[in-house]
Amino acid sequence: ATILYQDQFIDRTQAKVDIEDRGYQFGDGIYEAMMVYSGKIFLLEPHLKRLERSARELSLTLPYSIEHLADNIKKLIELNQLEDGVVYFQITRGAAPRQHFFPEHTPPVITGSVSSKVRDLSKRPKGIKAVLAEDIRWLRCDIKTLNLLGNVLAKQKAHSVSAGEAILHRGETVTEGSSSNVFIAKAGELVTHPADHLILNGITRLFVLDLAKQLDIPVSEREFTLEELLHADEVFITSTSNEVKPVLQIDDQLINAGEPGALSKKLIAAFDAEVERIRTQ
Ligand code: PMP
């Protein structure tokens, strides 16, 4: 497979990571993962905007313009002849003698890769099981950084009991999933945690908020409790790779008798229509 390394396209086996790369040693870097449908990047602009914001929040100076980075990501997809799949893009603060403080004059290290994944709707599960996990992460979850150990531990907790996601909570407040945002529906209204420093403002979250608006579904961006989660009419997660995925069970508690709810199905249908639309654009 061809990967992006800095400003070059090389075979994956030719790529080398310095043992003192700060991404490797400190998780000091940022990333984006984007879906590709029929060779087209879904929601490219908001992903690039978030990448720029993550860089700014970490005082990481991008070595190329965002337009140039976007061109390279598109070229990577072309070179790999990717139709449907994921493109992963990351920038670390680069390689320098190990010191916690930022190095000077060290170029960031850019890598990008793709993986193919056919979007087969007939094989799509109707929902997932989730577990609850205390949110033990830091207080800047709004930045999409490589520091994912809190997320990894939570996902492993889910995986170890064959659940698809861990829903995180700080005390009684539900924040987000280990790699997704969480929505609940109650009495016809959607509720999701506000986009503050405790969650990543998911591009899929934003897209679903937009779809809800178009469909005249009321939404409240406010904190909600574990109690509200477990007694919701519907629960679903959103993320780049999961799109909109109903949560049918949380720990031992069934949600909506273990069936996807009406609002979830409506949003999934609208989402599917948007994906089909960009395929032919
Ligand atoms: N929250 C966290 C912690 C995540 O890792 C992700 C996925 N990267 C999301 C939310 C969803 O974000 P997006 O919709 O942009 O994939």
Whole-number Å distance between alpha carbons of 162 and 131 = 10
Whether 139 and 252 share a structural domain: yes
User: Euclidean distance between the first and final Cα of the chain, in Å?
Assistant: 27
Q: Report the alpha-carbon distance of residue 115 to residue 42 in Å, rounded.
A: 15
Residues 196, 190 contacting (CB under 8 angstroms): no
Cα 205 to ligand 1 centroid, rounded to whole Å: 8
Q: What is the pLDDT of residues 93-142, one digit of tens each?
A: 999 999 999 999 999 999 999 999 999 999 999 999 999 999 999 999 99
CATH number at residue 24: 3.30.470.10
As for ligand 1, residues whose beta carbon falls within 6 Å of it are: 151, 176, 179-181, 200, 202-205, 238-240
Domain closes at, from 103, 119, 135: 119
- 162 plus 265 within the same structural domain: yes
User: For the chain, where are the alpha helices, taking DSSP H only?
Assistant: 22-26, 44-57, 66-79, 149-159, 203-214, 226-230, 262-279
When pLDDT is averaged across residues 26-47 and rounded to a whole number, the result is 98
Q: Are residues 99 and 135 in the same domain?
A: no
pLDDT digits (tens, 9 = 90+) for 131-160: 999 999 999 999 999 999 999 999 999 999
Place of tokens 């520091």: 147
Residue 176 CB-density burial (10 A; 0-12 exposed, 13-18 middle, 19+ buried) = buried
Q: What is the ipTM of this complex?
A: 0.99
**CA 180 → CA 100, 165, 272, distances in Å?**
30, 8, 18
Q: Which domain holds residue 8?
A: 2-119
Ligand 1 centroid – CA 176 distance (Å): 9
**In the prediction, which pLDDT does 146 show?**
98
pLDDT computed for residue 207 by the predictor: 98
Instruction: Give the pLDDT score at 182.
Output: 99
> What is the number of the ligand 1 atom nearest to the C-alpha of 240?
16
Atom 5 of ligand 1: nearest residue by CA position = 179
Burial class (CB in 10 A: 0-12, 13-18, 19+), 98: exposed
Q: Which of 123, 126, 144, 266 is catalytic?
A: 144
- In this prediction, residue 97 carries a pLDDT of 98
**Which of 136, 153, 181 to mutate to test ligand 1, by most ligand atoms within 8 A of the CB atom?**
181
How many domains, in total, are found in the chain? 2
